[in-house]
Structure 1
Amino acid sequence: MIRPGLIVLALMAGQPALAQDFAESQAGILRWLDKLTGETADIELLRGQEAVSGRLTIRLDACRYPADNPTSDAQAHLTILDAGVAQPVFEGWMVASSPALSALDHPRYDVWVLRCVTPEPAPQAEETTSEGAGE
């Protein structure tokens, strides 16, 4: 007997995924937590910039956000090094809305993405009127 759920799943597998356009940001904002002391800090990094927090060195490699909704789901590619470990303890994408999806697995520290820094909207130009001109 074929289950109805399997039919739906099979039909969905044949459908193309909807692509979402992402815009690249020049900077991102992360949150760092020391689980031992309870200390937290928000860190704003430019793309390629590093910050040292505790024993961690955190580098923002890229930050992107949905082009049609800049305040929505940010994604950042991070490289995180621990002073006591030769290899990176984390290297990959973190998603702001799902931090557990791809998380730093460290016994003392936690790092997650808050958002990308998005450009400010251009101010609206004030309309000038011809009233009063030449008086």
Structure 2
Amino acid sequence: MRRAALALAMLAMAVPALAQGPSQGFDQGPPAEAGWVRKRTAQLQALDKVTARITLLDATVGEAVRFGSLSITVRACSARPPDEVPDAAAFIEVRDDLLAATAPLAFRGWMLANAPAAHMLEHPVYDLRILDCR
């Protein structure tokens, strides 16, 4: 009886998450109702950990840019309006050209300017973060 009640309680907690459906998943980006504005260009900061070289990259949405062996494609870029706390979020796909073409992407997901450690590229040689969306 107790196990059934526990299972029922766990199911009740899961129902709101299931009701969101795939359209509100992680890949959808920052919600429009939260005041995000779509932009066309992302400013990225790339670090080569071996040489300590920092490079600023301007990446147009949908076009790949290169840094070392990385091919970086920004799929979406959004920023807060000027009257709110500054922040930027970009959906980024990163491929390491030194790996086989069938290898999974080195990174695929949203990066936030105000929370760079929340979801970051984990690579032995390179580091990448979003600075701004313009």
Q: CA deviation at 1:39?
A: 1.0
Indicate how the Cα distance of structure 1 residues 69 and 104 shifts in structure 2: closer, same or farther if over 3 A, else same.
farther
CA distance in 2, matches of 1:82, 1:70: 36
Alignment counterpart, residue 91 of structure 2, candidates 68, 77, 85: 77
Tell me the TM-score normalized by structure 1.
0.69
Describe the shift of the 1:27–1:107 C-alpha distance in structure 2 as closer, same or farther (beyond 3 A): same
Report % sequence identity. Answer: 30
Determine which of 21, 35, 44 is the counterpart of 1:30: 44
Q: Deviations over 1:80-113 (max 9, x none)?
A: 0001222211000000011100000001100000
Matched, 1:55 2:69: yes
Look up the equivalent residue of 1:59 and give its one-letter code.
Answer: T
* Aligned position for 2:58: 44
CA distance in 1, matches of 2:84, 2:77: 12
For each residue in 1:21-74, what CA deviation from the matched residue of structure 2 results, as whole angstroms up to 9, or x when unmatched?
Answer: 111001110000000011111000111011111010011111001235477110
Consecutive unaligned residues in structure 2, runs of 5 or more: 1-32
Number of residue pairs matched by the alignment: 99
Match of 1:99 in 2: 116
- Aligned partner of 1:111: which letter? L
1:110 equivalent in alignment to 2:103: no
Runs of 5+ unmatched residues, structure 1: 1-18, 118-135
| Displaced runs of 4 or more, over 2 A | 67-71
CA distance in 2, matches of 1:32, 1:94: 13
TM-score normalized by structure 2? 0.69
Counterpart amino acid of 2:122? D
Larger radius of gyration: 1
Distance 1:37 1:47, change over 3 A: same
